[in-house]
Structure 1
Amino acid sequence: MRIVAVFTDTPEMLAHRKQHGQAHLDFLKANQSEILVGGGLKDEEGGVFVGGLWIMEVESFDRAKAIIESDPYYVPAYRRYTLKLWGKAFDEPVTI
């Protein structure tokens, strides 16, 4: 199933990002079979990261939660998330 994870960060997450950035990128690479697309979110161009978004292909919501909560970036005090089931309109890849 396709699941979208939307992350919302507290301001304290910025320091955590700096400290654990490489471990987070390594984690994403190691899990790229299930985390298809991922990236940080900003409120404005040139702004600071305030969250993130992943598109996942996983067997269940429980699996999505397990992956998220294993990420070095995941600290409940700094990062919350919501999960939504996603119905993709087209099966072909779309590039921008």
Structure 2
Amino acid sequence: MTRWVVIFDDTPGMLSVRKARGGEHIAYLKENADRILIGGGLRSVPDAPFVGGLWVVEAEIYDEVVELVLNDPYFSPEHRKFRILAWGKALDRSVTL
């Protein structure tokens, strides 16, 4: 199984999408918690508006990660761009956040 990082970059218009689809997005993350291991919003500083997001995903192939992104209720191509990168932990140990 490969670990992937998805980095989302949002336009300012994404804030309205977040408000409208927040509950659906959280439900989607919970439904896919076996593959989307960590997910959360990114801000320039604490308490600033969100400017993007980040996921750590476990999936066999790149296309599975793309499918997860495109099916997320938050995905709005005019307001959210993304990059997918293969990732490997430097130390293979459990981390509790």
User: TM-score, with normalisation over the residues of structure 1?
Assistant: 0.96
The sequence identity of aligned pairs, in percent, is: 44
| Counterpart code for 2:54 | L
RMSD: 0.9
CA distance in 2, matches of 1:19, 1:33: 25
- In structure 1, the residue matched to 2:49 is 48
Q: Which runs of 5+ in 2 are unaligned?
A: none
**1:8 pairs with 2:9:** yes
Q: Which moved more, 1:82-91 or 1:10-19?
A: 82-91
Show the counterpart of 1:70.
Answer: 71
Determine the structure 1 residue equivalent to 2:93: 92
Q: CA deviation at 1:95?
A: 3.5
Give the aligned residue type for 1:8. D
Report how far residue 87 of structure 1 moved: 1.2
Superposed CA deviations along residues 9-63 of structure 1, whole A, max 9, x for unmatched, are: 0000000100000000000000000000000000011100000000000011100
Q: How many residues align?
A: 96
Consecutive unaligned residues of structure 1, counting only runs of 5 or more, are none
C-alpha distance in structure 1 between counterparts of 2:60 and 2:96, whole Å: 25
Give 1:66 shift: 0.3
Could you list the runs of 4 or more consecutive aligned residues of structure 1 that deviate by over 4 angstroms after TM superposition?
none
